Structure 1
């Protein structure tokens, strides 16, 4: 795609996303730190129509617009990003939804995922570190070989209660995954969750599982035995 065509296409898509903006959606998202106003089902419909286009994804990301960046993450080719490129994107992704989609839809599918996990895990920026913990949770559940799960529990026990919100959430997810997937460590994971009480009072809609680790672990283990 030539730069001129790309610029025109980006402008066209930005205009379309603007027409889909809904102030009510923005108000809801703002409570969670997000600044986009487009219904995500509608956004996915746009992505389905546009189809995969990595060059266009790069151009959309460069706009800095949150809805455009979410669209970019849906139409990109994850394996075409360099490690350095993904690191720069992560550090520039400050809204929760862009951060979550970048890690979940792109980084996890990248050949650089493990290297970035190790790099981000101890980053002094808690938002960046949360991405490292999110990738660690993925490994805890799917490929735990080589991970020191006891050390992870030590870190969670020592640091989770006072961690910044997004990092705390990611550490709590890791705690729950250890308890769910590793029976030999389940009682310790539950005990840590009970002692710290992180997210114990988190408002949870009916028919949804609480993020409070002891409750989350119990519910998911019970489903495994049904």
Structure 2
């Protein structure tokens, strides 16, 4: 039986268990996804379930508390951003142990407009997944906060520069992601982001140098230049 909007967290989890796949779990591990508490559902399947059960913030808290990968992703998809508190956001961040869950809750936290408080706080945290969350939020904000002035996004460039030397894989990739998304946001964002990418590309630190070179490659690509109407 398919879950409905009135389904409890436990009923939804039982439905997820029935859809689980050991084969999918093996495939997830190859992408660096933490599978210790995974049932083996794809994000496509989870999005389908999310559309059926709809938003329910109290139930999302219960889903998160289960510790199950799929339930936590579903919690991120079905929590009410207007109801999310700072305490709840911090609690979820503290429990993160997988990059994909981090990226899912980054969307929720930005939707809740908690980025001004949480990005600097999470960036200062030494834990790999918490720091990744800061930069995943910047990347998400650059794409989804279309009504924000470009200056609000450009204000995060010093933070990107400050943490570009973090060699840890999941932090490094998120720092790079944040820089690229700011640079692609608009013509006014492109120049400052490109200048930072150029500085980082010359860094003596290998992580910063990789981030700079990779961002340069995309920000100077014909696709990005065409979209921003830059001269070739």
Shorter-chain TM-score: what band? Answer: 0.7 to 0.9
User: Using a 3 Å threshold, how does the CA distance of structure 1 residues 67 and 117 change in structure 2: closer, same or farther?
Assistant: same
Q: Does 1:25 align with 2:24?
A: yes
**Contact conserved, 1:193 with 1:214, CA < 8 A, in 2?**
no
TM-score, structure 1 length as denominator?
0.77
CA offsets, 1:126-179, max 9 Å, x none?
321222223334556654435546634642xxx424431111112112332344
**Contact conserved, 1:126 with 1:167, CA < 8 A, in 2?**
yes
Distance 1:122 1:92 in 2: 17
Aligned length: 206
**Contact conserved, 1:22 with 1:38, CA < 8 A, in 2?**
yes
Structure 2 unaligned residues grouped into runs of 5+: 1-5, 203-207
User: Using a 3 Å threshold, how does the CA distance of structure 1 residues 81 and 139 change in structure 2: closer, same or farther?
Assistant: closer
User: Using a 3 Å threshold, how does the CA distance of structure 1 residues 138 and 44 change in structure 2: closer, same or farther?
Assistant: closer
Q: Does 1:94 align with 2:97?
A: yes
Q: Which residue of 1 aligns with 2:151?
A: 145
User: Using a 3 Å threshold, how does the CA distance of structure 1 residues 116 and 154 change in structure 2: closer, same or farther?
Assistant: closer
Provide the secondary structure at the position in 2 that maps to 1:79.
coil
1:168 to 167, 172, 176: 172
TM-score, structure 2 length as denominator?
0.76
Aligned-pair Cα RMSD in Å = 2.8
Structure 1 unaligned residues grouped into runs of 5+: 1-5, 201-210
Please identify, of 183-192 and 94-103, the stretch whose mean Cα deviation from structure 2 is larger: 183-192
Q: Which residue of 1 aligns with 2:130?
A: 128
Output aligned runs, 1:44-193, within 5 Å: 44-104=47-107, 106-138=108-140, 142-145=148-151, 147-148=154-155, 151-152=158-159, 154-155=161-162, 159-180=163-184, 181=186, 182-185=189-192, 187-192=194-199
Higher helix residue share: 1
Distance 1:77 1:184 in 2: 36
